[in-house]
Each structure stands twice: as structure tokens, then as C-alpha cells.
Chain A
Amino acid sequence: MVNKESQSVRLFFMGLSIALAGAGLILGTILISQGGEWIQTGLRFFSAAGAGLSLTWKLDGLTMFFLIVLLLGQGLSSLYALGYLKEYQEKNKSLWPFLVNWFLFLGSMFGVLLADDGFTFLLTWEMMSLFSFFLVLYEHEDPANRKSAYIYFVMTHVATVLLTTVTLYLYALTGSFSFEMWAGAVPSLSTIQLNFIFLAFFIGFGTKAGFVPFHIWLPYAHSAAPSPVSALMSGVMVKVALYLFIRLVWLTIGPGPVWWGWLFLIIGALSALLGILSASVQSDLKKLLAFSTIENVGILSMALGSAFLARTWNNAWAMDLAFVAFFWHTIQHMLFKSLLFMGAGNIIQATHTRNLERLGGLLKRMPKTGLGALIGIIGIAALPPLGGFWGELTLFQSLWMNTSHLANGWSKVFLPLSIGILALVGGLSMATFVKWFGISFLGQARSPVAEKAEEAHPIQYITPLIMGGLAILSVLLPTATLGLIELPLSVLRPGNSAMMLSALVTPLNLSSIYLILLMLLTAIVFLLTKRSFHKVTATWNCGQPLTSSMQYTAGGLTNPIRVLFTKVLGSRRNVEGDFAETRYSLRSLTYEGKLKEVFEDIFYRPMIRGLLWMSSQIRKLQAGSIHLYLGYLLVTVVVVLILGR
């Protein structure tokens, strides 16, 4: 049963969203190719000059870069949603809540990126939180989704409280909401004031970006949202939070003391490590990707930290490298994470399960989705030919260059340590995505739903492939990508940054030549072997029939990680064997593995318990007796009269 009206609504609005994104991209490209002053100084528009509470907007190179990321994300996610929403349409679920919030969410992200004063920023930021909350809540029939959305709502509002406080504080200090005035007032502020402002920004934006320990909402919300929304939230929204770090911390209240850089670096390393560790042991298709987002945000935060440290130590090369790594990885992560969420969306629509243990053998049934996902995991696991590798390599270089700063002894300890952590994270992310891909796409189906899976709607596998193609192009044509990165660099780093970029272009160009050669070589080898050595035989299986239970399970594949990091992950396992007569014949074996959400247990549960206790105390005031309420009234009147004398 196809609902005609809802069909045309879906086509029209998603088409509109794609067209707008396309128009925006073309306009952006024209603006960039014309170049000019606006990249550094910023282009103000729709802004009444100096009037109290007007909304002011500014477009400069930094904003432009993130706008391009947002427009790419918007266009491709909308294209994907065009196919994805078909399922809801067939279920006769109203599409309006999705479409309206989709546009408002995108619009508010534009607003956050373009905002040039604290008030505009807060307004659009709050809108962004609210509409993404509604989008997470779109599949509200499932109580688990409602809980996820609720956690998101609470966490994001805690962040907003801090941001509102600090915005008003800065307003009280400077008498203006404009970012420029704030930056101008910074030299006159004391270190304590600056640190307070910084910490509030850090926690506020860090919550949205998903820094450990403020990350707990992220795996819930990103996995509960419909896949196009997850793609947008993971690919773009976290980047918006990181953009604000640059806009408000680096450009406005910076440079700040050294420890800011260290905080970014250490929290980043912590997020990366814990994110990928948690990801590796997840068996939920989308939750795993969400945890991997935390990891990547951690890597981006490490790049920011390295840039901050380099700025305090006047290490221009390290700073440039850190920023190139940051922006490079931002683009790449947007492409790959959106791609993977789309792939996950296809799997979920085909099998209606998110549990990896019930998937398997999907490559045979959904080959095109599988191809897209393969490109995605190569990128996200930072394997050489694709972009993820180059970003992390540049970050390694930046961190390493920072260790050369002689004056600070800590740099000799923590920076190599963070390099080590980054390497460990790279290795673990490889394991994680081997698991993600291997368990869901390879081997045999582990459940009837996986056996009956069918390839998704063409749009739904073409979009990930487009993203994969873009990712490959971004490496094949590094001049274009680095040209894009030059936009924010020219804002952040006054002076000539061309040398750095041209120095980077050469190895990347070379690598792309190698890549082409490699691909050609593979193609030739493949064509040659296909004809001569292709032989199909049965898998050797001890003479037993081959069943799906012989394969690795999702839990089993990463069990070593689970065991190694018991303390960090809070993992527990319970194996019970039911033996028949001797220890050599086993009737059945039950395995139960549990993961504790360590941060939820250490930080959040006691906090929630305290809050509930306080609420129950306050509730005693609410006895429901009219006489008591009137008593409050009398006491209040008397007290007010006495005080007001």
C-alpha cells in the first residue's frame, strides 16, 4: 500500500533539500574561486550595525569550510533519506515530523556556523539541540528510543546551561554580545576569569561533541535516530561543536595558558581510547559506529590540543600540521561516518535488527551496500590508500614536532605517550571495523532475518558509493582538498600558509599516483587469476555439515580486547557448561558477557541518585493539602512584608 500523497511529499521535500545543498555548494565554490578579502576579514550580512539585540551573521574562510562540510552532508544525507524514508511511508507513518525537523535542524546548523554574536549563537545552538532531539525521537514507538532521546535532551541542556551562563557573563563583562568585542576584552580579563570561561565552553561544546566523560548521550542518541539523521548528527553536528571550539576558544578567548592545550590533548586521547575500546566490544551495529564517532572526535580534539600547544610554544610548523590534520580528518570523518551509518541503515531496513550476532553473509545478498561499507571501513580504520590515513599521519607528525619543544619537560612525556595512544587507537579501530564488516557481511547468515535480506533501494546504495567516490577523489586530487583546507587556515594563521600546503601536496599527489597504480595492478591481477586459478571447493569442516554456529561470533571476535581491558570496560563474563557425565562431552554451554557503562556508574548514577533524593525531599513540601499551601502563602506574605519594610 503506497500512500500517494506522502510519496510526493517525500520526493518534493528531500528533492528540495538536495537542490538547496547543491545550490549552496555551487555558490560556495564560486565565492571561493573568486577569493578576496572576505576569507580573512569575514563577510557580514543582514546585520544591523551595533544595535543591541540584533542577529548578526558573518561568513569567513573558517565558516565557509564548515559550511561546505555541512552542505555536502546535507545533500548526501537528503539523497539517502529520499530512499530511506520510503520504509516509513510504507508503514503509513506521517513524514511531516521528520521533514519539518529535518529542515529546521539543518537551518539551525547553518545559523550556528554563521552566527557572529553570542545571542545569535545561543539561539541557533538551542534550536539545533531541540530539532535534533525531535529527529532522534522520530521513531518514538520504541520505549528505548524515547529513553535515548531523553538522555540526549538532558545532557544537551546541561551543556546549554553552561553556555548561557558564560555568554551572559561575557556580556556582563563587555556589555556586548559580539564575538569581536569579546576578543577585544580578553586581554583585560584575569586568568581566573579566562579559565572559568574556557572551562564552561569546554564542557558545553565538549558535551555536544562527545568528549569523554560527557559522552554518555552520544551512543544512545546516534543509534536511536533514523539512519540519515545519525549520518547527519555524527558527520556534521559534532563538527559544528568542534567548529565552535575554534571560533570561540581559539579565535576569541585564546591563546590562553598552556594547560588548555594539554586538556584538549588528554581529553582527546582519553575519548579516542575509550571510544574505540567501547566500540570494539559493542554488538549493536549503530552503537558501535556511535562509539567510533567518540573516538574520532577524540582524535580531532588531540589535533586541536596539538595546535594549542604549538601556538603557546611558537611552533608554526606543528600548528599548521595540527590544523591540516584537524580539517582533513573533519572532511574524511564526515564522509566515512555518514557512509557507514547509511550502510548500517540499509542493513537495518533489510533485516530489522541491529544486533551483529544475528547478521552474517550479507555481502552475497547486498553486494552494493557491502562495497560501499568496505570503502567506508578502509577509510575509518585509517588504512593507507584512503583519507583517514593521511589525516592521522599528519597528526602524528604534528605531535612529534611538538615534542621538539625543549623548554617544557612534560612535552617529553605526554606527547610521545599520546602518539602511542593514537597508534593503539588506530590498531583497535582496525579490529573494531574488521568485526563490524566481517560479522555482518562475511560468512554465513546467523539468523533467518539475515538469510532473507535483500538489497536496498538503489538510491540507498548509490549514496554511500557516491560518498566513497568523493573520499577517493579527495585523496586523488589532494590539491582540491588542501585548497579547501586553506580557507580556514588563512583565518587561523595570518601569514603565508601556502608553503606548508605545497609541502603536503607532493606526498599526497605521489600517493594518489601509487593508489592508481595499485588499483590498476589489482585489477590486472584479478582479471588474470580469475581465468586460470579460479577453483570452487567446499570449505573443510571435519566432515560435519557447515553451520553458522561454527563461525566467530561478534562477541568472540573481540573477546581478547574485552579480557585485556576488563578494568576500563567493566566487562564481566559468566560461562556455564552443562556437562554430560565427563568433562569431555558437553551438552550445552551458556556464555553471558556483560559490559558496565563505567562512566554512567561512576559519575552519572550517583548524581542522578542525589538529584532524585533532593527531589523527594522537595516533594514533601507538596503534600497536596490546601491548608498547607495556604500556610505557605501566609508565611510568604508575612516574610515579604517584614523584609520589604
Chain B
Amino acid sequence: MIGISENGLNLVLIVLLTSGLLVVYSARVKNALSWWTLQTVFVSLLLIAEGYHNNALEVMIFGVLLLIAKAGIIPILLRRVLKESNTEWVGEIYLKRAMSLIFAGGLSLMAYEVTQPLMALHSGYRNGLAVAIALIFYGLLLMMTRKVAIVQVLGILLIDNGIFLAGFFLTQGMPLLVELGAAFDILVGIVIIGILSKQMLENYDSLNVDHMRSLKG
């Protein structure tokens, strides 16, 4: 990762953070999904660039696979579910969009705060780690304050991106097998969630997770 210039890295990080914030701020599920897709594309590009600069072919291949699986297949699957369920709005509860954005900002500060001990790292890495943790927080925040099941899925995907980035910056290249496993894990997870949300549609005629309260014994 020596190869990417610090400016380039920071640019990518800005895109990642902004797209994360935009996912939180979106009013329509479709938009949120698009912003997430953009983010994932940049994550994959980061990986490909890293592989290119290090002359590591397998990392590049993995980046391409990630691009196809996460930025390609998952959005298609989720869009299909969206169409079937006629879901348009994200369904804010507890926090409105603007308020969630403020909370997200607070959480970003928190992310920088908790990564303080890693100040010694290369500054690009440090920013990267803080962004990664901020993305994990955004994902949790999103899942907490939205009631449509698809947005919860988006939250998981955000967290996944965050975890992936954190691993990337901390270990500077996890074993390939682990990364592959993590990427396909989430793909399989999304397929399962797609099936489950179909089930939910059949039972409740909506993707509102509040219905799940009735499952409590």
C-alpha cells in the first residue's frame, strides 16, 4: 500500500465517508442503495489500486471479484426485493434524517476518539481506520433508527464495509482466503435475507420490522 499517494488515499476516504453519511441521510431506499454501491465500488478500487502498486495479481483479482459480488450482485438482489415489496421510503423512526446526520457526525468524532492510540500510524492509515469504525457506527445507527427491513440490510452492508476496511488498514492485507471468505459470507447472508424478507412480506404484507414484536413470547 506504499504505492498509493497520501492525497489519493485521503480522496478515497472522503468518498467513503461521504457516501456513508449519504446512506444515513437518504430518504429513499433506492438512493441509499446507490450510495452504498458507490462506496463499495471505491472499496474495491482501493483494493485493486493496492494490488496494482504492489504487483500482487491475486489481490487485484480479489478486488475485481469483490466488485462483481458486492457492487454487482447484491444491489441487483436488493433492488428486486424493493420492487416486489413496493418499498420507497426508508421509514424513519426515533430520529429524522437531519437528526441522524448530526448523530452520525457525533459518531464520526467518536470514531476518531477511539482510534486515538493508533495516532502513531501512518496518517493515511489512521484516517482510514477512523473512517472504517465510523462506517460501523453508521451501520448500527441506521439499523436502529429505520423500520424497513431492507434498510437494516443496508446497515449490515455498511458495517461489513467498515469491518473490511478496518481489517485492510490494520493488517495491511489479510490472508487472501480470509478476505474471500468474508466477502462471500456477506453475499450468502444477503441471499438468505432476501428469502427471509419474502417470507416477511407474505406474513405481514410489509417489510416493517416493528411487526416482529409480535414474535415475542
Chain A residues proximal to chain B, CB less than 8 Å: 622-627, 630-631, 633-634, 637-638, 641-642, 645
Chain B positions 78 through 104: 1 when the CB is less than 8 Å from some CB of chain A, otherwise 0 = 000000000000000110000000000
Surface stretch bound by A, among B4-12, B32-40, B137-145, B184-192: B137-145
Q: Is the CB of B144 within 8 A of A630?
A: yes
Q: Is the CB of B145 within 8 A of A627?
A: yes
- Would you call the interface of chain A mostly helix, strand, loop, or mixed? helix
Chain B residues proximal to chain A, CB less than 8 Å: 93-94, 110, 113-114, 116-117, 133, 136-137, 140-141, 143-145, 147, 152, 155, 209-210, 212-213, 215-216
Nearest CB in chain A to that of B140: its residue: A634
Q: Is the CB of A630 within 8 A of B212?
A: no
Q: Is the CB of B137 within 8 A of A634?
A: yes
Determine the chain B residues whose CB is within 8 A of the CB of A642 once the complex forms. 113-114
Determine the chain A residues whose CB is within 8 A of the CB of B147 once the complex forms. 627
Determine the chain A residues whose CB is within 8 A of the CB of B140 once the complex forms. 630, 633-634, 637
Determine the chain B residues whose CB is within 8 A of the CB of A633 once the complex forms. 140
Additional pairs, 19, CB under 8 Å, beyond known A630-B144, A633-B140: A623-B216, A624-B213, A625-B213, A626-B209, A627-B94, A627-B147, A630-B140, A630-B143, A630-B155, A634-B137, A634-B140, A634-B141, A637-B136, A638-B114, A638-B137, A641-B114, A642-B113, A645-B114, A645-B117
Determine the chain B residues whose CB is within 8 A of the CB of A622 once the complex forms. 216
Docked CA distance A634–B145 (Å)? 12
| Chain A: minimal CB distance from B113 (Å) | 8
Determine the chain A residues whose CB is within 8 A of the CB of B141 once the complex forms. 634
Determine the chain B residues whose CB is within 8 A of the CB of A625 once the complex forms. 210, 213
Sample of 19 A–B contacts (CB below 8 Å): A622-B216, A623-B213, A624-B212, A625-B213, A626-B212, A627-B143, A627-B144, A627-B145, A627-B147, A627-B209, A630-B144, A631-B144, A634-B137, A638-B114, A638-B137, A642-B113, A642-B114, A645-B116, A645-B117
| Chain A: minimal CB distance from B169 (Å) | 15
Interchain pairs with CB closer than 8 A, number: 44
Determine the chain B residues whose CB is within 8 A of the CB of A631 once the complex forms. 144
| Chain B: minimal CB distance from A477 (Å) | 63
- Would you call the interface of chain B mostly helix, strand, loop, or mixed? helix
| Chain B: minimal CB distance from A310 (Å) | 58
Determine the chain A residues whose CB is within 8 A of the CB of B209 once the complex forms. 626-627
Docked CA distance A627–B141 (Å)? 9
Docked CA distance A633–B156 (Å)? 12
Q: Is the CB of B116 within 8 A of A634?
A: no
Determine the chain A residues whose CB is within 8 A of the CB of B133 once the complex forms. 641
Closest 7 CB pairs of A and B: A624-B216, A634-B140, A641-B114, A630-B144, A630-B143, A624-B213, A626-B209
| Chain B: minimal CB distance from A632 (Å) | 10
Determine the chain B residues whose CB is within 8 A of the CB of A627 once the complex forms. 93-94, 143-145, 147, 209
Determine the chain A residues whose CB is within 8 A of the CB of B143 once the complex forms. 626-627, 630
Determine the chain B residues whose CB is within 8 A of the CB of A626 once the complex forms. 143, 152, 209, 212
Determine the chain A residues whose CB is within 8 A of the CB of B216 once the complex forms. 622-624
Q: Is the CB of A624 within 8 A of B215?
A: yes
Docked CA distance A500–B135 (Å)? 82
Determine the chain A residues whose CB is within 8 A of the CB of B117 once the complex forms. 645
Nearest CB in chain B to that of A628: its residue: B144
Docked CA distance A642–B144 (Å)? 20
Given contacts A642-B114, A645-B114, contact A634 B213 (CB under 8 A): no
| Chain B: minimal CB distance from A160 (Å) | 29
Determine the chain A residues whose CB is within 8 A of the CB of B215 once the complex forms. 624
Determine the chain B residues whose CB is within 8 A of the CB of A624 once the complex forms. 212-213, 215-216
Docked CA distance A642–B107 (Å)? 12
Q: Is the CB of A638 within 8 A of B110?
A: yes
Interface-centre pick from B113, B143, B145, B147 (highest chain A CB count, 10 A): B143
